[in-house]
Amino acid sequence: MKQTVPKHRDEIRIRAVPNRAPDRREDGPFLPLSATDKVKLGHLGEIIEFKTPGTEIVSQGEKSTFLYLLTDGVIEADRTLHSGQRQILAFYWPGDTFGLAENGVYVNSASALTQCTVYRFPTQQLATFLLEHPTIQEGFLVKAVHDLRNAQRQIIMMGRFDVTERLAVFLLDCSGHERYFDASRRVLTLAMTRYDIADYIGTSAEGVTRAFSRLETKGLLRRLTPRTLELTTAELKAFVDFSDS
Amino acid sequence: MKQTVPKHRDEIRIRAVPNRAPDRREDGPFLPLSATDKVKLGHLGEIIEFKTPGTEIVSQGEKSTFLYLLTDGVIEADRTLHSGQRQILAFYWPGDTFGLAENGVYVNSASALTQCTVYRFPTQQLATFLLEHPTIQEGFLVKAVHDLRNAQRQIIMMGRFDVTERLAVFLLDCSGHERYFDASRRVLTLAMTRYDIADYIGTSAEGVTRAFSRLETKGLLRRLTPRTLELTTAELKAFVDFSDS
DNA sequence: CGACGAGTTGATACTAATCAACCCTTGTGG
DNA sequence: CCACAAGGGTTGATTAGTATCAACTCGTCG
């Protein structure tokens, strides 16, 4: 289920679009981090592997002892209400951090959707470490702002888009991750169920299926299997009405 | 319209709930900042007053030259889509920062709903300043995470709550600010129109009015005037189903 | 006084939630 | 090896919530 792997060290990298216009642009969607900073962070953290999809890694309401950095796999963060309703707040991809806390308590749960490997950092040590390493702290600040922008995109999506448009936005987000979108064949592989997607875009599983068939009717995608889709990102982008993207 | 006021200096303070459990709790909803840090920040920034409600302070798509810290008044941040639809992403209260940027460009517009006084910091200088002042940078990091949690609350609200519940959540948020909620008389004064509220909770102005009358029918509030409400926060909290609050 | 914007109410249309039934794949145990 | 259970996925019928359009009131300001 869970296993420490001290042998190899995956590359430490943080996925974020910077606030300011970058002077260099060689790092793709990741923040520039000096080699020594990566080493220092690597020493502070610990690598964990989660072999079984579905494993809950952090649990809403529990004491927040670690901040996590995903290096491989896909993770889902959700909150469950008293009524039992579940809202998925984000899907995390390699380079994303998770384990959001308030007053020392996790506000969301997070579960692996695939096999995952993560770094985890003890929150106490991390806090003092960041004060001593301002450039790394800046990285985490930029990452937090990046996540804030993403959350705002999602608010717009929920507030102004119908279910079909929301699904299109979601699929576009997914196809931004090379590991799961084969750009040459234009095939997207989904790591999540209809229920997961529904709880993310604020509808029901049936609603997701119907939105899929409407997109298919419009010729914006083709379902090869329920979990593998052939799609053209340009056409989907033309379909949704973001002022950015 | 806009006027520099170098005479008096308002207190610099950042409104945020910390990630970790605080060891001291004397600062109310604001972050603990040392006196010298406040002075240094004050020197970096500049105080601006906006006399006329409705003034647009930052404009979506423009080059981001300043980060703003609100010291008095209420501000609204919104994004307008190609279709003309508007989504309000947040209302800002004293102690909040605004002027969110991506790649050096503001992603949202922000307008004053009341008379406002703000600090503004040149983004370039602020970035280097924060690297030299890790404790202040930590403050901005905690603030960004705070805003991220708020955005997630809003996602839950939009994804799982009906219009009436969303209005209740909004009113509860408003009544958290002493300046606009007289706790002894239980009277909340709204700075925003029905249209603003509608664009915030993702409905229409008519929808807001109907939600008001449903809450009034349920006995959860009383409309003294359209903009002043008598309400009991405890009853409203019981009505909404957040796992926190 | 008249114009305008905010706020409210009613009638109608439509999106999507819900309930039910069903298919398909996968994995497990007899 | 096959039967059956379980969960994911899809489709149809019905209903509930709310968007939209229209009309009207009220208060404010020039």
The contacts of residue B83 (CB under 8 Å, 6+ apart) are: A241
pLDDT given for residue A97 in this prediction:
98
Nearest to A101 among B19, B104, B147 (CB): B19
The arithmetic mean of pLDDT across residues B159-179, rounded, is 97
3-state secondary structure of B155: helix
| Band of pLDDT at residue A45, cut at 50, 70 and 90 | very high
Mean pLDDT score of chain B, rounded to an integer? Answer: 94
Flag whether pLDDT at B243 surpasses 80: no
State the pLDDT at residue A231. Answer: 97
Instruction: Enumerate the nucleotides of strand D whose atoms come under 7 Å of any protein CB.
Output: 8-13, 17-22
Our measurement of CA B206 to C1' D24, in angstroms, reads: 14
Average pLDDT estimate for A163-176: 98
pLDDT digits (tens, 9 = 90+) for A203-222: 999 999 999 999 999 999 99
Average pLDDT over chain A, rounded to whole? 94
pLDDT digits (tens, 9 = 90+) for A107-137: 999 999 999 999 999 999 999 999 999 999 9
CA of B158 to C1' of C18 (A): 19
Q: Do the Cβ atoms of A101 and B20 come within 8 Å?
A: yes
Residues 96-125 in A having a C-beta less than 7 A from any atom of strand D are none
Q: List the B151 CA – D10 C1' distance (angstroms).
A: 34
Pick B8 or A182 by higher pLDDT.
A182
Closest Cα in chain B, distance from residue A10 (Å): 26
Contacts of A155 in chain B (CB under 8 A): 87, 89, 151, 154-155, 158
Q: Residue B25 — pLDDT band, cuts 50, 70, 90?
A: confident
8 Å CB contact between B66 and A141: no
Q: pLDDT value at position A40?
A: 95
**Nearest-nucleotide field for A205 (CA, C1'):** D9
- For residue B75, give how far its alpha carbon lies from the nearest alpha carbon of chain A (Å): 17
Mean pLDDT of A172-183: 96
Given a cut of 50, whether residue A6 has pLDDT beyond it is: no
Report CA(A50)–C1'(D7) in Å, whole number.
22
In the predicted model, what is the mean pLDDT of residues B5-11? 54
Q: How far is CA A213 from the centre of its chain?
A: 25
H or E segment to which residue B116 belongs: strand B116-122
User: With 90 as the cut, is the pLDDT of residue A243 above it?
Assistant: no
Task: Name the pLDDT band for B9 (thresholds 50, 70, 90).
Answer: low
Range of weakest confidence among A164-168, A226-230, B27-31, B177-181: B27-31
CA distance B26 to B32: 8
Cβ of B204 less than 7 A from strand D: yes
Q: What angle do CA A77, B196, B175 make, to 5 degrees?
A: 70
Identify all chain B residues contacting A82, using CB atoms and an 8 Å cutoff: 241-243
Q: How confident is the model at residue B220 (pLDDT cuts 50, 70, 90)?
A: very high
Q: Write out chain A residues lying below 8 Å of B159, CB-based.
A: 87, 158, 199, 201-202
Mean pLDDT along residues B7-28: 81
Q: What percent of chain B has pLDDT over 90?
A: 90
pTM for this prediction: 0.95
pLDDT single digits (tens) B109-121: 999 999 999 999 9
- Using a CB-CB cut-off of 8 Å, the residues of chain B touching A91 are none
d(C-alpha B234, C-alpha A58), whole Å:
30
**Number of cross-chain residue pairs from A and B with Cβ atoms under 8 Å apart:** 174
